[in-house]
A and B are shown apart, each in its own frame.
Chain A
């Protein structure tokens, strides 16, 4: 009887143990609930469109085309004075003391290349899924496939072009012989391939144009709504961007041929086909909601729940209420000094008190509390001025060139019409175009591009001396983080 009792107990124990062992859940494969695993990213059409939006969202990073990129390109030049010496709000860029470890130098490089890799990953995935027929299965037509591919390629071109403006010598210095950028064209997911040498500036431009030219025929002619036409690329927006790229290469003929696609032969200037770009009737209207006027070619959209981020938005840098914004330099030769009081662009300025003085601020981004004003990547006024400059530089002083300049100028300053007689020669005209650009594009990050592409000395401001073209500070240094990890990288 005792024997049985023990056997009973032992078997009960064993049974319980087995029961417990069998109960162990097979939960060793818990999938994340808030992130999409890679294999599922192309499973539905919505996700593919979401990935395309994701590429735009990536370049829209507050440290890149969402805000700071334009600021870097403006404050290097003469038009702005900072309220604060805070290094976090780009003081070192303003006074040309950036070094390889400076935050903006490392951050911008990182953000742009993160976008490039996201684009490369998308292109690889898109092509693979197209080849396997999966895209067709989920309802993506060939036209849509082409459009998405075109958008990705065009964005990559924009990324590389943007980087060139700060980290490489201008094309016009030596026809592009200077060191350019490492051209990342493959999707990177692993620890391999850290080392990649820089291609020359000319080779980088070749890649940019290759991407933009490949993109243009693939893109849609019209994305379907004003909002989509401004926030996503289409044929005409790429043509517009190419006028900028070719201008930097001094390829006047190509500037003209691209511009001719989207600028009518006579005023009022508009795009003859595709999305009908047109200068907005009023200057102020460009900057008012819904930010999708016919003048906006490509802008980065924001909403109250999708903001540029702390100290990133253009309003943070140009609004009088911000303690770290930049006010306009009033010294002779600056945009402020050149604008007449009646000019709509000057009327739009806001005022604020700094150290007891009244100072002026670019009034384009007036939404300071909720910084949801769109950021302009490129707008039609620039296309017209690019066209005017290219005509003047190849054909000399022509009425068409003057008309183009007038279109932009008289929109804001009706009394300021130029005639052929206003200019002694072509160089006087070109100076007028440069000045107009300085006045028109305050805050939009064009000024640094203009100074560098024409290989001029960077003007000084207040106590900051001018930066000659031979100075090490003429362009930004290569970030320390790249030098320490990419063995084939060379410094500037």
Chain B
């Protein structure tokens, strides 16, 4: 007994104790439960149940109760009342009430959390046919909006947590894996996208927590303004070693491809347009050529660009835990072909997570993962690239073919462009997609080591010292080969460009954590920490042009001209001090305060540190005595409020505050050029976040809901303040902390365990978020910031008083039935008609007099916000015996999309048009239609010359994100070792319900952007994927 005292108490007083013992069983099957924690309430005195479910404890006299807790079961408090033997049956935590949630630098009980945190279980996303887990997060968490820019493999999705939190810096959240902030974004230097997050095998993820308000995120200080996503990888669970195999095979195809004209429709329509414009410059009519074998040329170009891709994915994991060791080993392989030809992604990865309790004070753990990814893609087009596959699929004329007419099998090319097969257009200017697909290559390969090593020392219960060292080392090799036969590198007779890039980062965090309970009711926790982070990126480039023979298709071949690009080199360093204090009284009244002081090397001298912090309070009303009577109806009622100040440092590069010269050459001699006007006063952006929340549960926790209202005010926005170009400042901008913007909205999350029977189980969870974003201040004298797509088309404007990135277009009001001309509306509100072939192109509709030309600068106006004002998801999961099914819906409303592709589909140059143009083009006076009179070379009426409101459409949609159904086989003979085999089928991106006429309203040609969201300009469509899979658990 004395021995037990020494072992289990740190107390200096030898008090009188009583021995209590008992057995803990599970209510589900009556079997004993090992590893259950039994603690004397209000103390740190405790024990664990053994394999037989039994425990023995020396309990101080006058103790009130014993608390029994274990993961997956409801925590149970048993009053002692003088007994020596207490047996307990634990109920399974059907409704996940006593879940432990990962928070910043620690964990907390779900109902003790005072901040706004959304949790997504790894199980929900592990089987989705995606390349990275963030592609499966849509609609899973309130306040989190995820957009897939297009269906090209591994294109990083755009993630927004509670709106847009920056204008010039990034609005994407900080991603922390097992305590280490990792690199995010597209790692590829060429056309083959490589999402940094794809290096994490979704099957390895245990849970994801999205920290949203200041209380939850402030401890990440200067990187927290756009939210934080914590990823925790799996650990071995106690019990026998568990082996699993998960595999699936699938097919993916694009959907909603444009319906364009065939060759006969094309020549009929274009010759009509030519007849309508005598000055077209085309000497004769278009015709359908015939090849040497007598076949008419009628090409469906999308057949040469898209395909049905095959995908397969395999993952094996081995995990388990003994008394002192827990391990999780997983190996994964995925090989996916995309919906675009020559697009593929292949990844091999392995992970080993080990926790080892060295002795009663020290434990160590290691999470090591290695991943090798290989991404290959054709040029899928960044809006206006002439090589862009998505655009070539619908812009090219159907009366041109990919191969020469003479039947020789050679490509139909004319210099860099597609050959004209004798048509009246001298030079089509666009490339032959079959030739460039066959001959060009863009690949990216990366190797990544993501590891964290940590040691925890607990000298006595309650005080923990933890040191964590994390590594995120990536090596990326980009290979680009463009042929000299045709296409982009025709002029230089071929181009091979290789880049080797090594972004490396180490993070070292030391924390001291102390938890104590005083007088059984005062629970106090204190955390203090120091963190250092060092990031470097070194890249170098080799480039060769003028290949010596078409035989060579690699950088390593024989080329005439070799050169070295400059590559890049940066280093930066972070030093932070942080702390957190949380306190609750009897789990009824909660108070938490956090603070962080961050220093960053990229800021100027004397300016390097910033302070951030947050505080929150929570009142658990349901624990009050006056609420006890309601407990049968309302089993949980908590009111929370939080406020804090966090920062965004993504807009400050490693050397942003300095004035710099960079080196170059003048002919063959070295030169120095002034190339950066830094700002020594530059600070990071900061936002004040305010959150009010109400969490409640009805019907004994069967229905759990959270309602939050948030208001984020971002000030000190770093804006590249435009300068007059005549001042000659590099980039014509100087960065300064100038602007302000706010995001506000409601979040509503409900999880309902509708039916939890032994055979039938049905759970619904739905979330709904609203968002209002408004820019309240820009730099003095700057009334607007213009957003440009592809460097060529001005599509958005950011102005004070409107949401960020508003679509900007000239208003049009359809087509004038009398003349067939597009009706434009000028700044004064007058209707102006456009006639491309006339001498006076612009005339007043009222009287036909000459009008001044319409320009975007003069007559454009705010045409719709691309930020959804209402969005969310609805998940339904059903199991009936061995069957299971799940349906995930996502929806997004209250936003507009600029359908720039539609402008291209109606362009009256030689470009192919949609069938709608062929059928509905205005031909006779009085005809009411939305397609104007076809006039050859007219690129104004359709919206190519500048954006028109005709092409701004509502994007509201409801998507069936995934639908899956499966059947589990159990009861296998023991000799096989198989516990369960589940087979399933799944549809991903199954259906879209929308009025949007483009391929998909969920689109972003400009990717992760603040100033130009909501643009659909020649983007590749999205893909639907069908998979069949099998999960085997041994």
Q: Do A and B come from one complex?
A: yes
Q: Which residues of chain A have C-beta atoms less than 8 A from B608's C-beta?
A: 28
Q: Which residues of chain B have C-beta atoms less than 8 A from A2's C-beta?
A: 6, 12
**B279 CB within 8 Å of chain A:** yes
Q: Which residues of chain A have C-beta atoms less than 8 A from B569's C-beta?
A: 32-34
**A321 CB within 8 Å of chain B:** yes
Instruction: Select the stretch in B343-351, B667-675, B761-769, B889-897 that faces chain A.
Output: B667-675
Q: Please, which residue of chain B has its CB at the minimum distance from the CB of A59? A: B666
Q: Which residues of chain B have C-beta atoms less than 8 A from A33's C-beta?
A: 569, 571
Q: Mark B524-555, 1 if CB is under 8 A from A, else 0.
A: 00000010101000000000011000000000
CA distance A35 to B660 in the complex (A): 6
Contact among B427, B457, B655, B672 with A32 in the assembled complex (CB-CB below 8 Å): B655
Taking CB atoms and an 8 Å cut-off, the chain B residues in 714-740 that contact chain A are: 721-730, 732, 734, 736
State whether A481 touches B722 (Cβ < 8 A).
Answer: yes
State whether B663 touches A36 (Cβ < 8 A).
Answer: yes
A30-B654, A32-B570, A194-B781 given; A57·B661 CB < 8 A: no
Best-surrounded residue of B12, B426, B658 (most CB of chain A within 10 A): B426
**B281 CB within 8 Å of chain A:** yes
Q: Which residues of chain A have C-beta atoms less than 8 A from B50's C-beta?
A: none
CA distance A485 to B732 in the complex (A): 10
CA distance A169 to B900 in the complex (A): 38
State whether A38 touches B658 (Cβ < 8 A).
Answer: yes
**B659 CB within 8 Å of chain A:** yes
- Closest approach, in angstroms, between the C-beta of B160 and any C-beta of chain A? 29
B: interface residue count bin: 35 or more
Q: Which residues of chain B have C-beta atoms less than 8 A from A121's C-beta?
A: 674
CA distance A484 to B515 in the complex (A): 59
Q: Which residues of chain A have C-beta atoms less than 8 A from B676's C-beta?
A: 35
Q: Mark A360-372, 1 if CB is under 8 A from B, else 0.
A: 0000000011100
State whether B429 touches A480 (Cβ < 8 A).
Answer: no
- Closest approach, in angstroms, between the C-beta of A480 and any C-beta of chain B? 6
State whether B726 touches A13 (Cβ < 8 A).
Answer: no
CA distance A463 to B936 in the complex (A): 15
Contact among B429, B601, B677, B726 with A196 in the assembled complex (CB-CB below 8 Å): B726
Instruction: Select the stretch in A45-53, A72-80, A445-453 that faces chain B.
Output: A45-53
State whether A188 touches B672 (Cβ < 8 A).
Answer: no
**A471 CB within 8 Å of chain B:** no
State whether B677 touches A190 (Cβ < 8 A).
Answer: yes
Q: Which residues of chain A have C-beta atoms less than 8 A from B668's C-beta?
A: 301, 303, 306
State whether A101 touches B794 (Cβ < 8 A).
Answer: yes
Q: Which residues of chain A have C-beta atoms less than 8 A from B660's C-beta?
A: 32, 35-38
A50-B671, A188-B728, A370-B545 given; A34·B662 CB < 8 A: yes
Instruction: Select the stretch in A14-22, A333-341, A379-387 that faces chain B.
Output: A14-22
- Closest approach, in angstroms, between the C-beta of B956 and any C-beta of chain A? 32
State whether B672 touches A47 (Cβ < 8 A).
Answer: yes
Q: Please, which residue of chain A has its CB at the minimum distance from the CB of B604? A: A29
CA distance A35 to B781 in the complex (A): 32
Q: Which residues of chain B have C-beta atoms less than 8 A from A184's C-beta?
A: 726-728
Q: Mark A410-430, 1 if CB is under 8 A from B, else 0.
A: 000000000000000000000
**B857 CB within 8 Å of chain A:** yes
Q: Which residues of chain A have C-beta atoms less than 8 A from B72's C-beta?
A: none
Contact among A27, A84, A305, A355 with B573 in the assembled complex (CB-CB below 8 Å): A27
A: interface residue count bin: 35 or more
Q: Please, which residue of chain A has its CB at the minimum distance from the CB of B609? A: A28
State whether A188 touches B722 (Cβ < 8 A).
Answer: no
CA distance A17 to B529 in the complex (A): 9
- Closest approach, in angstroms, between the C-beta of B418 and any C-beta of chain A? 11
Q: Mark A50-62, 1 if CB is under 8 A from B, else 0.
A: 1101101110100
CA distance A231 to B668 in the complex (A): 11
State whether A231 touches B667 (Cβ < 8 A).
Answer: yes
CA distance A35 to B361 in the complex (A): 50
**B806 CB within 8 Å of chain A:** no
Q: Which residues of chain A have C-beta atoms less than 8 A from B457's C-beta?
A: 13, 16
State whether B429 touches A25 (Cβ < 8 A).
Answer: no
State whether B429 touches A323 (Cβ < 8 A).
Answer: yes
CA distance A307 to B721 in the complex (A): 31
Q: Which residues of chain A have C-beta atoms less than 8 A from B534's C-beta?
A: 27
State whether B726 touches A35 (Cβ < 8 A).
Answer: no
Q: Please, which residue of chain B has its CB at the minimum distance from the CB of A16? A: B465
A51-B672, A301-B667 given; A30·B572 CB < 8 A: yes
- Closest approach, in angstroms, between the C-beta of B611 and any C-beta of chain A? 16
- Closest approach, in angstroms, between the C-beta of A18 and any C-beta of chain B? 11
**A191 CB within 8 Å of chain B:** yes
State whether A54 touches B723 (Cβ < 8 A).
Answer: no
Q: Please, which residue of chain B has its CB at the minimum distance from the CB of A462? A: B281
Taking A188-B728, A194-B723, A323-B427 as known contacts, 9 extra A-B pairs with beta carbons closer than 8 A to each other, sorted by chain A number, are A2-B12, A20-B510, A57-B664, A113-B726, A303-B668, A305-B665, A321-B415, A323-B490, A354-B427
| Interface positions of B (Cβ within 8 A of A) | 6, 10, 12, 279, 281, 283, 361, 414-417, 426-427, 429, 457, 459-460, 463, 465, 467, 490-493, 510, 512, 530, 532, 534, 545-546, 560-561, 563, 566, 568-573, 575, 599-601, 605, 608, 654-655, 658-677, 721-730, 732, 734, 736, 781, 792, 794, 855-857, 909
| Interface positions of A (Cβ within 8 A of B) | 2-3, 6, 9-10, 12-13, 16-17, 20-21, 24-25, 27-30, 32-38, 41, 46-47, 50-51, 53-54, 56-58, 60, 83-86, 99-101, 103, 106, 109-110, 113-118, 120-121, 181-182, 184, 188-191, 193-196, 227, 231, 300-306, 316, 321-324, 354-355, 368-370, 463, 479-482, 484-487, 489
